[in-house]
Amino acid sequence: MLDFLLGVAVVAAIYGILAISLNLQAGATGLLNFGLVGFFGIGAYATGISTMHGAPWPLGMAIGLVLAAAAGAAVGRLGRTLAAEYWAIATLALAELLRLVALNTDSLTRGPQGISAVPGFFSGLGPQSRDLAWLGLAALVLALCWWVSQRVTGAQFGRVLRLVREQPDLAASLGHDVVGAKVRVMAISAPMAALAGSLYTHYISFIGPGQLEPFATFLVWTMVVVGGLGNAFGVIAGAAIVQLLFDVTRFIDDVFDIPSENAGGLRILVVGAALLGFLYFRSGGLVPERLRRIDARS
């Protein structure tokens, strides 16, 4: 039981990083990124491919971060010509494109079988203390991303993002480069998603195209909506709750008399129901975004 909870916590912390990343885009800036998993994939495959060729893990991770920042900036730049809805569709399409490339370029990504035996961290420790160490590492990275997110959104930079989210023309009239703000926030947040991808790949020692399915993006969206879009603390809580829910429902076929081949679909159904329920009854999430109170001291 403890092993199970530890595993859930590690994955939840990694998803928490993804939730922080998405929250910077969708929550702070109003960028509806339906292709978040693409940036996760960039980090994951950069780690997978680099370590497969014998590169040390920090190199793979760094390559993933740099590539994701560049890709994020480029995708943010698309926001110049595309209205919000079309931009959202474009992100979904780009992430799918990336998945299909991963699926079909066997020489680079080993295609559908994916890259396995990615070296993990803390391999000298026993299983339980290894997970405990992983939890510490993931929580540390999560805390770092949260800190960056808080600093960035708390200053003028964040106010500009929020103004771009709600009244882009007003932001432009006050001298703020609306496109530049999107580019910059993508270049900051996309590497966070890549970092999560890299960590996840090291943790489970595997990356395959199946992990780049759009469902992963919507799982993070559910976490962000359940936790509270625009509230960095809320979305971390959302990540923990939804991940726990998602993992507990793994045992659905044991408790109820359901054929195990149907159980997987049922888990997705539960996540979907949580998303719908929150959108309908509590669209602000568990910890809604609050107005930021500024006083002379702050």
**Interacting positions 203-262 with another protein (CB under 8 A):** 230
C-alpha dist (Å) from residue 244 to 23, 26, 267, 271 = 20, 23, 12, 11
Q: Which amino acid is at 54?
A: G
- With beta carbons less than 8 A apart as the criterion, state whether 134 and 200 touch: no
Indicate the residue among 133 and 152 with the shorter CB distance to another protein.
152
If one asks whether residue 20 binds another protein (CB under 8 A), the answer comes out as no
* CB 49 within 8 Å of CB 109: yes
Residue 190, CB-side half-sphere exposure with 13 Å CA sphere: 31
Q: Are 137 and 125 in contact (CB under 8 A)?
A: no
Helix, strand and coil content of the chain, in percent to the nearest 5, comes to 80, 0, 20
83 part of the interface to another protein, by CB under 8 A: no
251-290 residues in contact with another protein (CB under 8 A) are: 289
Site for another protein in 169-188 (CB under 8 A): 169-178, 184-185, 188
Looking at 165, 206, 274, 285, which residue binds another protein (CB under 8 A)?
165
Q: What's the min distance (Å) between Cβ of 78 and another protein?
A: 17
Residue 148 makes contact with another protein by CB under 8 A: yes
CB 64 within 8 Å of CB 43: yes
94 binds another protein (CB under 8 A): no
DSSP 26: I
Q: How many residues bind another protein (CB under 8 A)?
A: 38
144 binds another protein, rule: CB under 8 A: no
**Least separation, in Å, of the C-beta of 262 and another protein?**
41
Which residues make beta-bridge pairs with 207? 115
Residue 142 binding another protein, by CB under 8 A: no
Measured distance CA(19)–CA(10) in Å, rounded: 14
Cα–Cα distance between 123 and 64 in angstroms, integer?
23
Question: Is residue 77 close enough to count as binding another protein by CB under 8 A?
Answer: no
Q: Applying CB under 8 A, does 130 fall inside the site for another protein?
A: no
2 binds another protein (CB under 8 A): no
Among 162, 200, 243, 246, binds another protein (CB under 8 A): 162
- Cβ-based nearer residue to another protein, 60 or 79: 79
Which positions touch another protein (CB under 8 A)? 148, 151-152, 154-160, 162-163, 165-167, 169-178, 184-185, 188, 230, 289, 291-298
